[in-house]
Amino acid sequence: MENLVLQALSGLASASSLFLVASGLTVIFGVSRVVNFAHGSFYMLGAYLAYTLVTQLPRGHLGFWGGVVGAALLVGLIGLAVEVLLLRRIYRAPELFQLLATFGVVLIVQELTQMVWGAQDLLGPRAPGLRGSTEILGLRFPLYELFLIGVGPVVLGLLLLLFHRTRWGTLVRAATQDREMVGALGVNQRMLFTSIFFLGSLLAGLGGALQLPRESVNLHMDLSIITEAFVVVVVGGLGSLTGAALAALLIGEMHAFGILIAPKITLVLVFLVMALVLVVRPHGLLGKPEAAARGGQGSAEPMIGPAPGPLRWLALTALGLAVVVPPFLGDYALSVLTELATAVLFAASLHLIMGPGGMASFGHAAYFGLGAYGAALAAQWLGAPMLVGLALAPLAAGVFGLVFGYFCVRLSGVYAAMLTLAFAQIAWSVAFQWVEVTGGDNGILGVWPDAWAAPKLVFYYLALALCLGATLLLRRVVHAPFGYALRAQRDSALRAEAIGINAFRIRWLGFALAAAAAGIAGGLFAYGKGSVFPTFMGIPRSVDALLMVLLGGVQTLSGPIIGALAFTGLQEQLVRLTDLWRLILGAVIVALVLFFPQGLAGAARARWEARHGDA
Amino acid sequence: MLQVAGLSAYYGRAHILDDVALDVGGGEVVVLLGRNGAGKSTTMKAIMGLVPPSAGNVRFAGAEIGGREPFEIARLGLGYVPEERRIFTGLSVMENLEVGRRPATAGLRPWTPERLFALFPSLGAMRDRPGGRMSGGEQQMLTIARTLMGNPRLILLDEPSEGLAPVVIERMAEAIRALKAEGLSILLSEQNLHFAQLVSDRATIIEKGRIRWSGSIAELLAADEVREQYLSV
């Protein structure tokens, strides 16, 4: 019994820390509608800056607490700078493009942090006056944890006062609903947005700085906290402070008791909760349906036509090169090319969901990974030959696409995207924690092609043929009646329903089809590498796919192909050439978002149309 | 007070406004008449900077405001009351007014919530009610009151009578006449000729994005063929 109480208390302490970060994220989203991936980076910076300040300042209360507050303020200023220099320019861009830009910031901050503070974990000093522990029900409990438990409610109270009792807060709440109208009433939205970014980033920084006495400061803090913070924000309802507090409480206690009750599924638990909440309450615990965001919406999606002549020639030339040149290449180049082929199909499959489908997926790697695991498990446990494995890959991915998609495509916008992420994380945690079957972190090794396809060149041609075939098939689907229906429901679900299109079923089938195609890519990738690992389904791979599609351009059919080639090629070269690849990749992403907001293929088309008139 | 000349605007490739010209003098109420989709709302949004004009001039109180941002235009004393009302539904009546509050304008009596409640008595009885739990007529009054809190010299009033019950329309007309008596200039857009003639001095007719006719209300009432051609449904 006493143990349970202590466990509950430590859950409260985690909830408190989680709330600090999530509150900043939800406040920023509420007003600016920016899904700020860099929020986790601000949290990490808060911890690092606090480390430096606290260790440099004189010891004692002033040094410690001054350091913590100073770090929070500095992070607030950094967030302000990011808003002014980057985000302010892209508020009119589609949501996912903003996400891409903030992901560029994540990469840049990671690299810079490593350059300044080094790769090793740092241990900060403990908080003066809160070093010891106290006795609760006869058991010892750290004082600092007790202090943290108090911080959350205090911050929540202050924020509620700020939003409900000040003019600034009233303006912010009004802007959350209708920013254009607030502008028409004479309010400078830019100042409002910049100040909200300052506040939100400051909260992230404070959350990070307060972790200093609790855990070591390291370079993985950013991505681990951002997923949790997203979960909290989405479960609570986007933009709702009280919702975020409730959700933080739920998730914090879940962590605390999950370890006691079901130690085998701790990783999956949080995402199971998120999936459950979203299935039952599509807008989170206290969220409201997303009002059709007013103001700053782009023009209608451009139409998709058949490829113009020169593009066909370009494609045919590229294909010719892809067929003719490889016999003269070495094994390394061949595996790079094989990987490129799977990347193209992976990106093209996500594009079907995002472009014509109009849905966002943050968890597309799940289907890539399910394809890979489908093939590998068949090889491992059934001794299936490669062709059977390759046939099982899209089947496994497609079936899970049907199951997961059934829930995901009912939601819209960020909620839908977060539910795809939740399912992907569930799949990932199963692969990671079900060691007896999947080998856990060690993966499944020895997934090699059959003898006839063992030479790298043969396997490359096989991969090229399958990926190209599937990509062309997806392209064909977009131009088929099914594709018309898919695009129709994207442009207006209501009107599509009115002419007899079952929008839900179309979206659902589109989602499953894309999943199956990603499965093919995953299966080929597994045989190409000879092994599968849980990372195949990890968040970074989902982000890779997003990057490819967005880099190429969402609303062109050649976009994902060009994006996949550009991204994979760039990453490959950068990793080989320089240690600073994350910095450069991040900078390239930010530059692309700023200068090619329609993606590479979109920009090329805009130039083409400008020169040749409208086709 | 407000002069618009050669104003053009596009939505994507569709030409919505073509060479629109109109003017509103100090203390005057001018009505912009036209059918659904004629370009009334777009004209107002273009004046307010909410739709970027592709060509033309907009002068307000002696300053060129074309191409400026909406908040700058609002701060010069141009108030905008949108057709869809766009009340902040999560905010109370008092909070909605607070969002609109701006410093007083020289030469005009500053607006306070109390003065506005005298103008729209029903609002005074629901100060703490969320905007989302008000009737259409109450919301329409609130949106006008909210804009008045900015102490504008001129307001753009987009179809205030739309969707309101006849009794409420009468009250709205009284309120607009009271505003005119305060010295406020008003550019009104309407489909409802009956309502327009109750409050307006002059009329301008717009059809397919072009100005087709301008004159006094008396002239419009005398010109049957103009009303027949541009206003009958």
The angle, 0 to 180 degrees and rounded to 10, between the axes of the packed helices A581-595 and A95-117 is 150
Nearest by Cα to A17 from A157, A109, A148? A148
* Interface contact B86, partner A, CB < 8 A: yes
pLDDT for the residue numbered A292: 45
Contact flag B146-A185 (C-beta cutoff 8 Å) = yes
Q: What secondary structure letter does DSSP report for B130?
A: B
Helix (H) or strand (E) holding B34: none
Q: Please, what is the Cα angle at A551 between A194 and A418, to 5 degrees? A: 65
Answer yes or no: are the C-beta atoms of A25 and A234 closer than 8 Å: no
Strands (E), chain B: 2-11, 14-24, 29-33, 53-60, 63-64, 78-81, 154-158, 185-190, 202-207, 210-216
Nearest to A187 among B71, B82, B89 (CB): B71
Chain B nearest C-alpha distance from A309 (Å):
25
Nearest CA in chain A to B156: A184
Residues A406-460 have pLDDT tens digits of: 999 988 877 888 889 889 988 998 998 888 888 888 999 988 898 898 899 999 9
- Rounded-to-integer distance, Cα A180 and Cα A33, Å: 13
Overall average pLDDT of the A85-113 stretch: 86
Nearest by Cα to A314 from A613, A570, A607, A604? A604
Chain A CB contacts of B80 under 8 Å are: 184-185
Given 3.40.630, 3.10.350, 2.60.120, 1.10.3470, which CATH number is that of A335-612?
1.10.3470
Q: Is A57 exposed, middle or buried (0-12, 13-18, 19+ CB in 10 A)?
A: middle
Answer yes or no: are the C-beta atoms of A258 and A54 closer than 8 Å: no
- Nearest-Å Rg of the Cα atoms of chain B is 17
Chain B CB contacts of A167 under 8 Å are: 98, 101
- Rounded-to-integer distance, Cα B71 and Cα B90, Å: 22
Residues A123-134 have pLDDT tens digits of: 988 888 888 888
Same fold for the domain at A2-280 and the one at A335-612?
yes
Chain B CB contacts of A294 under 8 Å are: 86
Nearest CA in chain B to A175: B88
The residue length of chain A stands at: 615
Chain A nearest C-alpha distance from B86 (Å):
7
Answer yes or no: are the C-beta atoms of A279 and A407 closer than 8 Å: yes
- Rounded-to-integer distance, Cα A84 and Cα A197, Å: 9
* Interface contact A181, partner B, CB < 8 A: yes
pLDDT for the residue numbered A176: 86
Domain that holds residue B7: 2-230
Q: Is the CATH number 1.10.340 carried by domain A2-280? A: no
Q: Based on the structure, what is the number of domains in chain B?
A: 1
Q: Is B62 exposed, middle or buried (0-12, 13-18, 19+ CB in 10 A)?
A: exposed
pLDDT for the residue numbered B93: 96
Overall average pLDDT of the A80-94 stretch: 88
In this structure, the strands spanning B53-60 and B63-64 are antiparallel
Nearest to A300 among B12, B80, B96 (CB): B12
Answer yes or no: are the C-beta atoms of A543 and A103 closer than 8 Å: yes
pLDDT for the residue numbered A288: 76
Would you say residue A200 has pLDDT above 80? yes
Nearest by Cα to A221 from A116, A108, A106, A126? A106
Q: Please, which residues bridge with residue A200 across strands?
A: none
Query: Worst-scoring range by mean pLDDT, A252-256, A420-424, A470-474, A568-572?
Result: A568-572
Overall average pLDDT of the A258-264 stretch: 78
Chain A CB contacts of B11 under 8 Å are: 299
Chain B CB contacts of A92 under 8 Å are: none
Q: Please, which residues bridge with residue B139 across strands?
A: none
Answer yes or no: are the C-beta atoms of B20 and B39 closer than 8 Å: yes
Both structure tokens of A341: 């082929």
* Interface contact B151, partner A, CB < 8 A: no
Nearest CA in chain B to A295: B50
Chain A nearest C-alpha distance from B197 (Å):
28
Which band of pLDDT confidence, cut at 50, 70 and 90, is reported for residue A316?
Answer: confident
Task: Kindly give the parts of chain B with pLDDT less than 70.
Answer: 233
Chain B CB contacts of A181 under 8 Å are: 82, 86, 88
pLDDT for the residue numbered A3: 82
Chain A CB contacts of B9 under 8 Å are: none
Chain A nearest C-alpha distance from B71 (Å):
4
Nearest CA in chain B to A190: B71
- Rounded-to-integer distance, Cα A572 and Cα A6, Å: 49
3-state secondary structure of A148: helix
Q: What percent of chain A clears pLDDT 90, i.e. is strictly above it?
A: 51
Nearest to B50 among A173, A184, A300 (CB): A184
Chain B nearest C-alpha distance from A129 (Å):
43
Residues A340-399 have pLDDT tens digits of: 999 999 999 999 999 899 888 889 999 999 999 999 999 988 888 999 999 999 999 999
Residues A152-196 have pLDDT tens digits of: 999 999 999 999 999 999 999 999 888 899 999 999 988 999 999
pLDDT for the residue numbered A411: 86
- Taking CA atoms, A609 is separated from A303, A309, A316, in Å, by 13, 13, 21
Contact flag A187-B146 (C-beta cutoff 8 Å) = no
Contact flag A184-B48 (C-beta cutoff 8 Å) = yes
Which alpha helices (H) appear in A530-558, and where do they start and end? 539-552
Chain A CB contacts of B74 under 8 Å are: 183-186
* Interface contact A160, partner B, CB < 8 A: no
Which band of pLDDT confidence, cut at 50, 70 and 90, is reported for residue A301?
Answer: low
Answer yes or no: are the C-beta atoms of A189 and A182 closer than 8 Å: yes
Q: Tally Cβ neighbours within 10 Å of residue A221.
A: 22
Q: What is the domain partition of chain A in residue ranges?
A: 2-280, 335-612
- Taking CA atoms, B39 is separated from B35, B62, B82, B161, B216, in Å, by 9, 25, 14, 17, 21
* Interface contact A185, partner B, CB < 8 A: yes
pLDDT for the residue numbered A299: 42
Chain B CB contacts of A177 under 8 Å are: 88-91
Chain B CB contacts of A184 under 8 Å are: 48, 50, 70-71, 74, 80, 82
Nearest CA in chain A to B91: A174
* Interface contact B99, partner A, CB < 8 A: yes
Which residues, other chains included, contact B215 with Cβ-Cβ below 8 Å and sequence gap of 6+?
Answer: B202, B203, B223
Chain B CB contacts of A182 under 8 Å are: 99
Nearest CA in chain A to B96: A174
Chain A nearest C-alpha distance from B14 (Å):
12
Q: 């001129």: which residue's tokens?
A: B154
pLDDT for the residue numbered A224: 83
Residues A585-602 have pLDDT tens digits of: 888 888 888 887 777 777
Answer yes or no: are the C-beta atoms of A586 and A578 closer than 8 Å: no
- Rounded to 5 degrees, what are φ and ψ at B35? -75, 175
In this structure, the strands spanning B185-190 and B29-33 are parallel
Strands (E), A14-172: 133-136, 139-142
Nearest by Cα to A3 from A182, A156, A141, A186? A141
Which band of pLDDT confidence, cut at 50, 70 and 90, is reported for residue A322?
Answer: confident
pLDDT for the residue numbered A300: 52
Both structure tokens of A440: 């856990």
3-state secondary structure of B111: coil
- Rounded-to-integer distance, Cα A542 and Cα A422, Å: 12
Q: Is A331 exposed, middle or buried (0-12, 13-18, 19+ CB in 10 A)?
A: exposed
* Interface contact B66, partner A, CB < 8 A: no
Nearest CA in chain A to B77: A186
pLDDT for the residue numbered A155: 96
Answer yes or no: are the C-beta atoms of A517 and A466 closer than 8 Å: no
Give the CATH number, domain containing residue B86: 3.40.50.300
The angle, 0 to 180 degrees and rounded to 10, between the axes of the packed helices A413-433 and A221-236 is 130
Would you say residue A295 has pLDDT above 60? no
* Interface contact A183, partner B, CB < 8 A: yes
Q: Tally Cβ neighbours within 10 Å of residue A306.
A: 11
Which residues 24-63 of B are in CB contact (within 8 Å) with A?
48, 50
